[in-house]
A and B are shown apart, each in its own frame.
Chain A
Amino acid sequence: MQPDDLNNWWENDKQRTHIQNYRSAKELDTLVPQRNWLLMTSRALQQAAIYSFLLITFSGC
């Protein structure tokens, strides 16, 4: 086995796999869930924290 054999094989195989499995952006979009629950939850918690802070701050005045 030559030192570059594995690297050469890998690069060729990568190109072949990419060509065989290529998907358009539209196709990939269908694989993505409509909602990112992690993002939505973190934003909801962030907003809850802000409103709580404002409520506590101003109700104390």
Chain B
Amino acid sequence: MIQKKLRQKFVAVLHEHQGIVHQICRVYFTAPQDQEDAFQEVVLQLWKAFPKFRQEAKVTTWMHRVALNTILKRIRQEQARPRLTQLEDVSTQVAAGNSPEINDYMEYALLQLPPLDKALVILHLEGYQYEEIAQMMDLTKTNVASKLSRIKQKIKQIITQEKYAAR
């Protein structure tokens, strides 16, 4: 009975905030099958962790933390490939003389980042404060601030280089 109620509650939470998990899987994996595997793995880890979730943190914060830790662990274990298909898409457009949209450059730049940097950008774009990101990723606030500043510079640099190359 308790198990059934817990399950219903979990599915309701997952249903409401499933976008978080989908987006993280998409940023980290290229192939639809890899995305699906990652999605299922994150759901499993969320389900395992759900009884321990005490509502002290926001449910979205908890989901981000579990999802990112699961994905980073998976990448460390399997040394997952970067999203080559997407990278090729932009390169092909550039080579074909097409002018890619700013969104393509943005996606391209994000995909170039190492896994931990991606996690920091995701959390930053989701509106978390430096202190919250530091807690979630087990870093210091100063470290998060300096890393994000460096990452933003890197993204700008990648976009500028790609735009220049496309001319």
Contact at A31–B15, with CB atoms within 8 Å? no
CB neighbours (8 Å) of B160 from chain A are: 1
Q: What is the interface size of chain B, counting residues whose CB is below 8 A from a CB of the partner?
A: 33
**Measured CA separation A39–B19 after assembly (Å):** 26
Question: Per DSSP, are chain B's interface residues mostly helix, strand or loop, or mixed?
Answer: helix
Question: How many A-B contacts if CB must be within 8 Å?
Answer: 79
B40 at the A interface (CB under 8 A): yes
Interface size range on A against B:
20 to 34
Which residues in chain B, 20-77, are within 8 Å of chain A measured between CB atoms? Answer: 22-23, 26, 39-40, 43-44, 47-48, 50-52
Contact at A36–B3, with CB atoms within 8 Å? yes
**With A13-B107, A28-B14, A39-B6 as given contacts, are A18 and B19 in contact (CB-CB < 8 Å)?**
yes
Contact at A40–B23, with CB atoms within 8 Å? no
**Measured CA separation A13–B23 after assembly (Å):** 8
